[in-house]
Amino acid sequence: MGRPAAHLGFFHDEFVKRRRWLSDSAYGKVVALCQLLPGPASSQVGLTIGFLRGHYRGAFAAWLGFTLPSALIMISFALGLSAWPEAGSGGWIHGLKLFVVAVVAQAVWQMGRALCPDRPRIAMALLVAVSLLIISETWMQILALAIAGAVGSVMQLRSSAASELLHVPLQSRKPALFAVAFAVLLLVSFLPQATGSLGWIATEMYRAGALVFGGGHVVLPWLQEGFVASGAMAADTFLAGYGVAQAMPGPLFSFSGFLGGSQAGAIGGVVAVIAVFLPGTLLVFAGLPLWSWLREHRRARSALAGVILLP
């Protein structure tokens, strides 16, 4: 189902133990690197494994194989609700909402235990949570990330994620091009768009994929702010889609297909899926060569530890 830990376990069993495409050590480095980047970590791990096996074609094949089934299901669910809106008023929708509350509560508890192992990080997490409850604007979320990174660097929070070197087949100039593309598209995503249009869907999704560390459940408040708080979607519909996404195989980011499909049909669903995964993909290709640099720069690792609250 759509849980990153389960995906990572499956990848390890399939590609390390059974197929022996890479060693335990190499797999650990890939997982650690992807946890340092914004975006869906498990999808980025699958993408990286595909890249190490077959370069860019392998990366695309890995992403498509991992994402397509759940994305198609979520887009189809959105189209079904649009065609038969009375289906959304049944008791099963209420059951899905209760299910989502339980799932999110469990996720918050588990992530809190894993990502806040000491008092400084617990205090940081609580302060950020209170700040976002008071000011729930997008700029406040970005400011919170920046402050957390600065505090992590000053306090020299520890993270063992970049302890070893990872060799990847990337040409010297390409990582910079991917980084520039990521930054330019992020700036473009803040341009105003007509609510419900394909451009609006693309920018909302790209921004969520670019600024969320941890993926999965963490992306929920970003998407809720963009689609529900803006009035583009009813809260009941949003929660129903998220509940179905929980029961689907594949990444939770495929929930984007439901949101896009609900706004602009099948094309909207496809645009949403591509847009939400694009920033994480660009960052993987841009960030792979930075592994050795992070290994040597403690301040950079501490800043990232503050942002993502890694133990």
Phi, psi of 310 (to 5 degrees): -80, 145
Question: How far, in Å, CA of 69 to CA of 158, rounded?
Answer: 38
Measure Cα distances from 239 to 107, 233, 253, 258 in Å: 15, 10, 14, 11
Per-chain mean pLDDT for the chain: 79
C-beta contacts of 181-189 below 8 A and 24+ residues apart: 181/282, 182/210, 182/279, 182/282, 182/283, 182/286, 185/210, 185/278, 185/279, 185/282, 186/210, 186/279
How many other CB atoms are there within 10 angstroms of residue 156's CB atom? 13
pLDDT number for residue 85? 66
Mean pLDDT over residues 273-299, rounded? Answer: 81
Tokens 């509940």 -> residue: 243
Task: Give 39's DSSP letter.
Answer: B
Close Cβ partners of 139 (under 8 Å, ≥ 6 residues apart): none
Question: What amino acid is encoded at 153 in this protein?
Answer: S
- Condensed to tens digits (0 to 9), the pLDDT of residues 120-170 reads 777 777 787 787 677 766 566 667 767 776 776 666 555 544 444 455 555
pLDDT at residue 185 is higher than 70: yes
> For residue 56, what are its two tokens?
């860019």
Measure Cα distances from 294 to 31, 90, 229, 303 in Å: 15, 52, 38, 11
Q: How much of the chain exceeds pLDDT 70, in percent?
A: 68
Question: How far, in Å, CA of 83 to CA of 69, rounded?
Answer: 21
Question: How far, in Å, CA of 135 to CA of 221, rounded?
Answer: 13
Query: Does residue 32 come out as left (phi exceeding 0), alpha (psi in the -120 to 50 range) or beta?
Result: alpha
Angle between helices 41-83 and 235-247 (to 10 degrees): 130
- Condensed to tens digits (0 to 9), the pLDDT of residues 43-101 reads 999 999 999 898 899 999 999 999 999 999 999 999 998 887 665 555 666 665 566 56
Close Cβ partners of 107 (under 8 Å, ≥ 6 residues apart): 216, 217
How many other CB atoms are there within 10 angstroms of residue 253's CB atom? 30
Question: How far, in Å, CA of 81 to CA of 258, rounded?
Answer: 10
Mean pLDDT over residues 11-16, rounded? Answer: 86
Position with higher pLDDT, 29 vs 91 = 29
Distance of CA 113 to the CA centre of its chain: 19
- Least reliable range by pLDDT among 68-77, 161-170, 225-234, 243-252: 161-170
pLDDT at residue 277 is higher than 80: yes
Question: How far, in Å, CA of 208 to CA of 53, rounded?
Answer: 29
pLDDT at residue 281 is higher than 70: yes
pLDDT number for residue 142? 64
Phi, psi of 213 (to 5 degrees): -95, 130
- Condensed to tens digits (0 to 9), the pLDDT of residues 89-134 reads 556 666 655 665 665 566 566 556 655 767 777 777 778 778 767 7
pLDDT number for residue 70? 92
pLDDT number for residue 22? 87
C-beta contacts of 117-124 below 8 A and 24+ residues apart: 117/311, 120/155, 120/157, 121/157, 121/306, 121/309, 124/148, 124/151, 124/306, 124/309
Close Cβ partners of 282 (under 8 Å, ≥ 6 residues apart): 178, 179, 181, 182, 185
Q: How much of the chain exceeds pLDDT 90, in percent?
A: 33
pLDDT at residue 179 is higher than 90: yes
pTM of the full predicted structure?
Answer: 0.73
